[in-house]
Amino acid sequence: MEKSGLEGKVVYRHSVVARLSHWLWALALLVLVMSGLQIFNAAPYLDASDKNNPTKRVFAIAGGMPPGETRAVGMVYILGHTFNTTGVLGYTDDGQGGRSVRAFPGWLTLPSYQDLAGGRVWHLFFGWVLILALVAYGIQLIVRKGWRDLVMRPEDFRNLLPMQLYYLRLRKDPPPHGTYNPLQKLTYNIVLFVMMPLIVITGLALSPGMDAIANPLTSILGGRQFARLWHFLLMALFIGYFATHIVLVFATGAWNNIKSMVTGYYHLGKHDGVGP
Amino acid sequence: MKRRLFVASSLSAVGLTGCGVGNALTQNQIVHNILSSVDVLNHGLIGTRGMAKEYTDADVDRNFRLNGFDTPSSARYIGYVKDKFAAYRLVVDGMVDNKQAFTVAQLRAMPLLTQITRHDCVEGWSAIGKWRGVRVADVLAIAKPQQGARYVVFHCMDVDDQGTPYYESLDLHQAAHPQTILALDLNDAPLDADHGAPVRMKIPTQLGYKSAKWVDHIEVVSTFQHVFSGKGGYWEDAGYNWYAGI
């Protein structure tokens, strides 16, 4: 790919559907995580099993008043290890200005106070927003042939390590690439076409109606509670992706990046390419 | 220091405003109706199809988890328990040709179906129970729903702190599902008072709140708008989805 000749050129990079779905995903991710934590709070434990089985417990948040104590405590249990998290998790912000026994704090849940029904209506609605935005994005990828810029080619696999070295400042220049560098391509493919379908599937596996239709689905995931664990782990991956995404948006020219995701137009930099 | 304080307080102000907006939107009836509208999509796409997975005796939770309202403490219910439900009747009325008042013995004389199924609570937990009882379809076949009947409302004997009774509803399709039963036994013994004696709903294709306990009155209706707050169930009236398959 050309690299020097394109510097300073302005290209139309993101279609209106791509931009709209991007911001819908951002909103959906925020709402789904916060309402999901609200839902989690109703049963703040995760078992690697079908029905609940405390001997298969992987993660739990608990709070209460230990015998003989005068102050409530909050605890987190992960794979056999227990941590005191009083004030942050387990015994924390109740979303109404006080503190109570509660897994995730009020400032992280939607709504802030304990309300499973409220959390569920947000969650089920924005699950649809996520899915429909993915469908719309997928259609525009095909129609505008944008998939060609995203698909991983043999040289992309070879260039993953050099690209990572460049990000780590162990290499002066990135390997030549098109619209997206190999790490971007890999990440976007995993997030869009692996993590998004999986988080929807693991969520649906919790549904007794769905379980009756697609019985093997819940079983493949290890059962209903195990599906809940997968769903939670995928959320953690999404948060990890989001954090990385934000860091890189700012590290690679925040204004140009954000502007291009609003207007569609992107100013090509020194190493930027166009095309596959 | 001042600057840090300023940043911290601005951030928490943004956070609090965010919480405030989220809470206000959650409580707004129009927003709630918009968000709940996907109920129709979920009901249409998932619905009540297929069969809930059946387990084996080895999977059963012998101490089946208790949840929901307290066991009824009314004089009527205590009287029922005292005389082993001899005076209890399961009334079936509303839009039916043959109104019924079943005794427990009459229900037990009908074909009984056993299912070992997973009970999935809306809170997220699951437990497995062995349920035995009468198909709702068989009860309705005797009562004969009339033309125009669409829903089956299950009225219960338990009440909340304010005295509001528990109730639930299914449409006729969900009620006719072969695993939708009026359970009489749990884990090879007649239901105990805490688990909904003498008759409770068990519908494994939907979340636990549909499996109403202490049922004593089945009402066949064309719409449930006139029943309590009109959303089709106690928890539905409190904001939960009517379609509880998801």
What are the structural domains of chain A?
10-36+116-267 (1.20.950.20), 45-103 (no CATH)
Residue B245 to residue A210, Cβ atoms within 8 A: yes
Q: Using a CB-CB distance cutoff of 8 angstroms, which residues of chain B are in contact with residue A106?
A: 19
Residue B48 to residue A209, Cβ atoms within 8 A: yes
- By C-alpha distance, which of A237, A270, A247 is closest to A167? A247
Establish if A79 touches chain B: CB-CB under 8 angstroms.
no
- Judge whether residue A243 has pLDDT over 80: yes
Residue of A nearest to B20 (CA): A112
**Mean pLDDT, residues A174-195:** 96
Helices (H), chain A: 16-41, 116-143, 147-150, 154-158, 160-167, 182-190, 196-204, 208-213, 215-220, 224-251, 254-263
Q: Using a CB-CB distance cutoff of 8 angstroms, which residues of chain B are in contact with residue A115?
A: 26, 239
**Mean pLDDT, residues A124-128:** 98
Residue B123 to residue A43, Cβ atoms within 8 A: yes
What residues contact residue B151 under an 8 Å CB cut-off, 6+ apart? B169, B170, B171, B172, B220, B221, B222, B223, B224, B232
Partnered with residue B153 across adjacent β-strands are: B169, B219
Give helix A196-204 / helix A224-251 axis angle, nearest 10°: 150
Q: What is the pLDDT along chain B (246 residues), one digit of tens a residue?
A: 566 666 666 666 666 677 889 999 999 999 999 999 999 999 999 999 999 999 999 999 999 999 989 999 999 999 999 999 999 999 999 999 999 999 999 999 999 999 999 999 999 999 999 999 999 999 999 999 999 999 999 999 999 999 999 999 999 999 999 999 999 999 999 999 999 999 999 999 999 999 999 999 999 999 999 999 999 999 999 999 999 999
pLDDT value for A2: 43
Whole-number Å distance between alpha carbons of A205 and A105:
26
pTM here is: 0.94
Q: Using a CB-CB distance cutoff of 8 angstroms, which residues of chain A are in contact with residue B234?
A: none
**Mean pLDDT, residues A32-49:** 98
Q: Using a CB-CB distance cutoff of 8 angstroms, which residues of chain A are in contact with residue B117?
A: none
Long-range CB pairs of B53-57 (<8 Å, 24+ gap) are B53/A211, B53/A212, B53/A215, B53/A218, B53/A219, B53/B117, B53/B118, B54/B115, B54/B116, B54/B117, B55/B116, B55/B117, B55/B118, B55/B128, B56/B116, B57/B116, B57/B130
Q: Using a CB-CB distance cutoff of 8 angstroms, which residues of chain A are in contact with residue B27?
A: 111, 118
The residue type at A3: K
pLDDT value for B19: 80
Give me chain A's average pLDDT, please: 95
A215 vs A180 pLDDT, higher one: A180
Residue B34 to residue A125, Cβ atoms within 8 A: yes
Q: Are B120 and B55 in contact (CB under 8 A)?
A: no
pLDDT value for B212: 98
Residue B34 to residue A212, Cβ atoms within 8 A: no
What residues contact residue A64 under an 8 Å CB cut-off, 6+ apart? A72, A73, A91, A101
The string of DSSP codes covering B158-221 is EE-TTSPEEEEEEEHHHHTSTT-EEEEEETTEEPPGGGTSS-EEE-TTS-GGGS-SSEEEEEEE
Whole-number Å distance between alpha carbons of A260 and A13:
7
Whole-number Å distance between alpha carbons of A177 and A194:
23
pLDDT value for A1: 44
Partnered with residue B127 across adjacent β-strands are: B119
